[in-house]
């Protein structure tokens, strides 16, 4: 798995694509007899869990952002997040005559042309399309750069002028122009649901207005994915496409599922927020890549009892929403994993026992290759895990 960073390839000027470094890397991978899953990374690297390098968006994009900061996701305090472009600019022709969608398409089309031989000989077997921060289809609702700490509920990210205009229009169409504003009483990044008027049990999230706003907010996420995946299939016709959904497992045991709501997943105690996303993925024949399959609810309860987290419940819900649509489901670990308990949880989720339909993961991506993984005992455990993932009977390690 390799990230193809927009901020490296098109850094200096619009459509000034520089692919030479990736050509060299891909040649090495091909010589080693390996396959490539390439990620179209339209987000910045740095400032998130596991990031040890900084790669910004293209410099000329950041220059446009100085004069028009509304191209970035914005919170209610007016703080901008330059991790990726706001979905509000998808159809805005403000990038030297191009729209946000055209930026993504031109990049993908250039990649497909430059690396044609790697597609033809099946070295590149899959393209994962970045759809938001960390390459995930979600809002950047819990940014550490703005002071967020686990298990804060996060904040809505719909305060740039393009989103605000869209919300006002949606409210007028609905016949309630007074609903054309984001909700009050939502707390701050590190609030708990019960401390807010909006997310507490019986709060405004379940009012007529609350349901309207959350439906609109989540629909922007689905519409963005729909548009970009449509263009990805055009650029990469005949190649498997995938996209990533993040596992927001904290506050899952509460009625509102606040952290999921701020991230754009309209999932609560009486609404499935993932079925519509899976349905959209099916429309574009896109594999559903989900994170956090290694996390165990009991461990989370011990470490952060106040977080009301349930990663196992979330994984079960999301994987089954995707399987119900009949699409390929893949996964990856959310945090570094070197222990057998974590590996066993991945194996358990990879092929659920007693599933009458025989559902199983189509692929698993391990994050990530590091010196720690290569330590003798860690690598032995990893080797054992890979063999078991492929169905081999493996005895206990002799350490």
- Is 166 annotated for ligand binding? no
CA distance 191 to 251: 11
201 known ligand binder: no
Alpha carbon 189 to its chain's center: 19
CA distance 341 to 29: 31
Q: Annotation-wise, does 3 bind a ligand? A: yes
333 labelled binding-site residue:
yes
| Per-residue tokens: 221 | 């996420």
Return the C-alpha torsion angle 271, 72, 209, 144, nearest 10: 60
Distance CA 368, CA 53 (A): 14
Alpha helices by DSSP H, the chain:
6-9, 20-31, 59-67, 100-114, 116-120, 161-174, 208-235, 258-263, 275-283, 297-303, 311-324, 340-350, 376-389
Q: 83, 128, 332, 381: which is the annotated catalytic residue?
A: 332
Q: Position of tokens 């609350």?
A: 210
Q: Is 291 one of the annotated binding-site residues? A: yes
**Are β-strands 36-41 and 124-129 bridged in parallel, bridged antiparallel, or unpaired?**
parallel
Is 294 a residue of the active site? no
334 known member of a binding site: yes
24 annotated ligand binder? no
Residue 43 known to bind ligand: yes
Catalytic one among 136, 312, 325, 381? 136
Active site residue 136: yes
Interatomic CA distance for residues 311 and 320, integer angstroms = 14
CA dist., res. 124 & res. 111, Å (int): 12
244 is in an annotated binding site: yes
Of 209, 224, 222, which is closest to residue 171 (Cα–Cα)? 209
**Which neighbouring-strand residues pair with 242?**
128, 287
Which of 254, 164, 159, 267 is closest to 214 using CA atoms? 267
195's tokens: 């401390």
**Measured distance CA(382)–CA(369) in Å, rounded:** 11
Unique residue bearing structure tokens 């019986």: 202
Find, among 210, 190, 208, the residue nearest to 198 by Cα.
210
Active site positions, annotated: 136, 332
Residue numbers belonging to the annotated binding site for substrate:
3, 43, 51, 244, 249, 291, 333-334, 368
Residue numbers belonging to the annotated binding site:
3, 43, 51, 244, 249, 291, 333-334, 368
């Amino acid at each position: 798995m390799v990230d193809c960073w927009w901020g490296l390839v098109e850094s200096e000027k619009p459509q000034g694509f520089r692919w030479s470094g990736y050509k060299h890397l891909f040649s090495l991978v091909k010589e080693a007899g390996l396959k490539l899953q390439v990620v179209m990374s339209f987000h910045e690297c740095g400032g998130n869990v596991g990031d040890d390098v900084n790669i910004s968006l293209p410099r000329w994009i950041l220059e446009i952002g100085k004069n028009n900061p509304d191209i970035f996701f914005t919170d209610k305090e007016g703080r901008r997040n330059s991790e990726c472009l706001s979905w509000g600019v998808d159809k805005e022709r403000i990038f030297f005559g191009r729209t946000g969608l055209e930026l993504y398409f031109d990049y993908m089309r250039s990649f497909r042309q430059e690396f044609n031989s790697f597609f033809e000989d099946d070295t590149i077997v899959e393209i994962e399309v970045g759809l938001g921060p960390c390459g995930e289809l979600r809002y950047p609702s819990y940014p550490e750069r703005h002071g967020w700490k686990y298990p804060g509920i996060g904040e809505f990210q719909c305060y740039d002028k393009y989103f605000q205009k869209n919300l006002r229009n949606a409210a007028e169409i609905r016949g309630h122009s007074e609903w054309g504003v984001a909700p009050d009483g939502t707390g701050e990044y590190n609030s708990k649901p019960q401390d807010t008027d909006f997310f507490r049990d019986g709060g405004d999230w379940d009012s007529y207005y609350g349901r309207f706003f959350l439906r609109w907010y989540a629909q922007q996420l689905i519409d963005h994915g729909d548009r970009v995946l449509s263009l990805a299939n055009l650029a990469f016709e005949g190649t498997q496409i995938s996209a990533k959904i993040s596992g927001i497992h904290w506050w899952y045991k509460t009625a509102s599922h606040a952290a999921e709501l701020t991230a754009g997943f309209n999932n609560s105690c009486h609404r499935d927020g993932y079925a519509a996303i899976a349905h959209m993925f099916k429309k574009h024949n896109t594999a559903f890549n989900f994170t956090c399959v290694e996390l165990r609810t009991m461990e989370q309860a011990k470490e952060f009892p106040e977080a009301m987290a349930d990663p196992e419940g979330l994984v079960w819900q999301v994987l089954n929403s995707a399987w119900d649509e009949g699409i390929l489901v893949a996964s990856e670990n959310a945090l570094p994993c070197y222990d057998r308990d974590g590996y066993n949880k991945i194996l358990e989720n990879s092929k659920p026992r007693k599933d009458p339909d025989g559902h199983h993961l189509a692929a698993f991506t391990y994050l990530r290759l590091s010196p720690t993984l290569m330590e003798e005992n860690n690598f032995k455990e990893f080797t054992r895990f890979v063999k078991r993932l492929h169905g081999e009977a493996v005895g206990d390690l002799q350490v």
